[in-house]
């Protein structure tokens, strides 16, 4: 079959699909709606990782379907970042001076900074309950998710002159860990006739089970065989862009 067929088929399906739900009445009936969204959360850690990190932010986006019966199906990816790394002074204890400084290749003290970095990927499933809502497509929601979480300590040498924490040597201190995660969400979603003013505000809980992905930690002199059980609690907001178009309002000519 002609290769051009495979190229244009997704475009045709997308075009037809958009027109099938292109004009809807959000105010009066529950609708099928595909949606893109951007999201931000402020999180507090619990469990094992609370001993390593303070609070952090999570920013990302996703794609979500809402069915006519108000079921939600979503795929979401987020980048995690924070500046509070606990006990960071002990990470480089084997390569610092008695005063706690790393001497770089130029013979000066290096300014070493530590930060938290990571990401999450989730597939989510949930439902909207259209009560206490302005229309049948809005209301309280609950969602569950299954996914993957990874985080590490970012070690930054401002002058990039300290070979002790450059390249692969940095991996011996970054505490890279990852594993399976579950998420739970309780919140409220609003979908209106405007393409701009659609959002949700949620309380989110994440349970993660992670393990070290490094063969060896330089500061302890041995591999980390610990299985970590950690939690993240946060408030997450989403700015939603639905792909439907509202029906034009009726008007009369006299």
76: Cβ contacts below 8 Å, ≥ 6 apart: 39, 60, 61, 62, 120, 121, 122, 124, 145
Range of the domain at 41: 24-246
CATH number at residue 45: 2.40.160.20
Is residue 163 situated within a structural domain? yes
Average pLDDT across the chain, whole number: 89
215: in domain: yes
pLDDT per position as a tens digit, 79-105: 999 999 999 989 999 999 998 899 999
Token representation of residue 95:
């390569």
Q: Tell me how far apart the alpha carbons of residues 145 and 73 are, in angstroms, rounded to a whole number.
A: 10
Q: How confident is the model at residue 10 (pLDDT cuts 50, 70, 90)?
A: very low
- Work out the number of other CB atoms within 10 angstroms of the CB of residue 242: 24
Q: Per the domain annotation, does 205 fall within a domain?
A: yes
Tell me the average pLDDT across 228-233.
98
Instruction: Work out how many domains the chain is built from and give that number.
Output: 1
Q: Is residue 197 part of a domain?
A: yes
Q: Is the pLDDT of residue 21 over 50?
A: no
* CA 176/CA 171 separation, integer angstroms: 8
How far does CA 227 lie from the centroid of its chain? Answer: 22
Answer yes or no: are the C-beta atoms of 122 and 60 closer than 8 Å.
Answer: no
Pairing of strands 23-24, 245-246: parallel
Q: Where do runs of H (alpha helix) occur along the chain?
A: 3-20
Q: Over range 130-159, report the average pLDDT.
A: 96
Res. 24: pLDDT tops 70? no
d(CA 85, CA 55): 9
Residue 15 in domain: no
Structural domain contains residue 234: yes
CA distances (Å), origin 189, targets 135, 140, 149: 11, 6, 25
């Amino acid at each position: 079959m002609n290769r051009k067929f495979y190229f244009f088929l997704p475009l045709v399906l997308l075009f037809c699909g958009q027109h099938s739900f292109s004009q809807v009445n959000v105010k009066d009936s529950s609708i099928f709606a595909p949606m893109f969204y951007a999201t931000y959360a402020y999180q507090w850690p619990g469990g094992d990782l609370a001993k390593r990190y303070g609070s952090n932010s999570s920013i990302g986006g996703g794609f979500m379907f809402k069915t006519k019966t108000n079921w939600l199906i979503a795929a979401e990816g987020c980048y995690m970042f924070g500046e509070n790394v606990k006990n960071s002074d002990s990470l480089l204890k084997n390569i610092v001076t008695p005063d706690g400084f790393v001497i770089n290749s130029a013979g000066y003290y290096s300014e070493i900074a530590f930060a938290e970095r990571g990401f999450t990927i989730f597939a989510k499933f949930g439902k909207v309950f259209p009560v206490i809502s302005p229309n049948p497509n809005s209301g309280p929601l609950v969602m569950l998710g299954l996914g993957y979480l990874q985080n590490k300590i970012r070690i930054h040498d401002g002058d990039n002159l300290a070979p002790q924490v450059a390249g692969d040597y940095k991996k011996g201190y970054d505490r890279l860990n990852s594993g399976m995660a579950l998420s739970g969400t309780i919140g409220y979603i609003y979908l209106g006739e405007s393409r701009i003013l659609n959002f949700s505000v949620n309380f989110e809980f994440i349970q993660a089970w992670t393990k070290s992905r490094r063969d060896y930690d330089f500061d302890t002199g041995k591999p980390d065989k610990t299985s970590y059980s950690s939690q993240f609690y946060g408030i997450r907001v989403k700015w939603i862009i639905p792909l439907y178009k509202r029906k034009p309002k009726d008007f009369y000519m006299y």
